[in-house]
Chains A and B, each alone.
Chain A
Amino acid sequence: MDFNMNIIIEYWPFFLKGALLTLGISIAGIIIGAVIGLFISFGRMAPNKWIRIPFSLYINSLRGTPVLIQLFIVHYALLPAIYPPGTAVTSAIVTLSLNSSAYVAEIFRAGIQSLDKGQTEAARSLGMTKVQTMRYIIVPQAVRRMIPPLGNEFITLIKESSLAGIIAAEELMYWGKAAMGQYQRVWEPYIAVAIIYLVIVFSLTYLLQWIEKRWVQRD
């Protein structure tokens, strides 16, 4: 097997540009997803069953269907209807945000519900209101527990963002495909792209471990 380094060298600037976009799409997706997910999770935990149902439907629909289908629906149907100037990148960010919001909502819920009931009772017995209890006692502890699963969700999102190449968002995978199309070679472009994904994910894993060590307390 001959390995033509020149293809990689030629495409290197595009791979880097694509990697940056991949990171950008993923970061936007996890941040917007976290904000939406926070609201969804409170809806999902509402005491009233009829309020809970639509939120739980939202979560289950997004978790129960392939991201690719969600991407196509957003790109070819939803976005053209509500925001015609949207590009492939817009569609990718919207899709990843919606998709991750469902997972994040469940991560938030698990984080809050995993806390001992005694924490709420102790806070309330001091005379704190429900809102104060959430703000000073429950949420700060829940957030620490959420960091590891949120990190995992972010890593998943980075890999799923590669689907955006299919709708021609010029992220990393898109440039791999472009190189393959031009030279009719599979190994060089895809190995290069795979290694870049690996580097991104590994760096992130290390960063997360570092954050966990500093932030996540031992109970």
Chain B
Amino acid sequence: MIKVRNLVKHFGKDEVLKDISLDVEEKEVVVIIGPSGSGKSTLLRCFNKLEESTSGTIEIQGVHVDKSNINQIRTEVGMVFQHFNLFPHKSVLENVMIGPIKVRKWSHEAAKDKAVALLKRVGLESKADSYPASLSGGQKQRVAIARALAMEPKIMLFDEPTSALDPEMVGEVLAVIKDLAQEGMTMVVVTHEMGFAREVGDRVIFMDQGKIVEEGIPNTIFTSPKEERTKVFLDKVL
């Protein structure tokens, strides 16, 4: 589904991604962990070109991602952000409806049916007419997930979806993501939630200083990492 080859990204003089190659298979849940500044969010943001890579190639569903087809590809790739980025001037329902209406050109009714169903799924149908400002962090993030799902994406990207939440709200958001994983959604999740990574991830990637240091199935990575840097990191966070 996602095929990354020799991806390099510079911010000015800093090389934040150093020759990354990576494949994500259909229905796979890949969890990326690593210390702050390791480049994991930047990598994720390169997948849908919110961040322009310096060199290297990205293919999504077999299509080479470039400027000409990026809007089309983005409709297939949902993204959830650390800071939710809901549209504050639109109601919860409108937030979820706007993508299908403006981008997919659905009718108002079709988009509304879809939005209501999705809000029900994330447990927020009662908040449909509220505005984002009146929601808690966990609720905002669940709306953001519904907004991304409304486009019926084939792949979901999660950029530290629980990092900006109060601890008691992390669970409700992770439950929604877990539910998606069980349905077979292809997902890449950047997270600091090690328990979640272990439980939901099919594969865990550990990044440090712009490189993939180690990858493998969660149990192996968490219980018997091969690399010293992975050990040091896991000792600190577990």
Contact = CB atoms under 8 A, between A and B. Distances in A.
Given A121-B50, A132-B102, A136-B98, A126 B75 contact: yes
Interface of B: 48, 50, 71-72, 74-75, 77-79, 81, 83, 85-89, 98-99, 102-103, 131, 133, 144, 147-148, 151
Given A118-B81, A121-B50, A217-B131, A126 B74 contact: yes
A216 to B, nearest CB: 10
Contacts of A128: 71, 99, 102-103
Nearest to A135: B102
Contact of A116 (B71, B77, B85, B102): B85
27 contacts: A118-B81, A118-B83, A119-B85, A119-B87, A121-B50, A122-B81, A122-B85, A122-B147, A123-B87, A124-B50, A125-B77, A125-B78, A125-B148, A126-B98, A126-B99, A126-B147, A126-B151, A127-B99, A127-B151, A128-B71, A128-B102, A129-B71, A141-B87, A141-B88, A217-B131, A218-B133, A219-B88
Given A124-B50, A136-B98, A217-B131, 17 more contacts: A116-B83, A118-B85, A122-B79, A122-B86, A122-B144, A125-B77, A125-B148, A126-B99, A127-B99, A127-B103, A128-B99, A128-B102, A132-B102, A140-B89, A141-B89, A217-B89, A219-B133
Chain A: interface residue count, which band? 20 to 34
- Taking each of A125, A127, A132, which has the highest tally of chain B beta carbons within 10 Å of its own beta carbon? A125
Nearest to B45: A121
Contacts of A125: 48, 50, 74, 77-79, 148
Given A121-B50, A217-B131, A136 B85 contact: no
A141 B89 CA distance: 6
Contacts, number: 64
A116 B83 CA distance: 10
A140 B72 CA distance: 25
Main SS at interface, chain A: helix
A119 B133 CA distance: 14
B207 to A, nearest CB: 21
Interface in A137-176: 137, 140-141, 144
B50 A144 contact: no
Contacts of A122: 79, 81, 85-87, 144, 147
Contacts of A217: 88-89, 131, 133
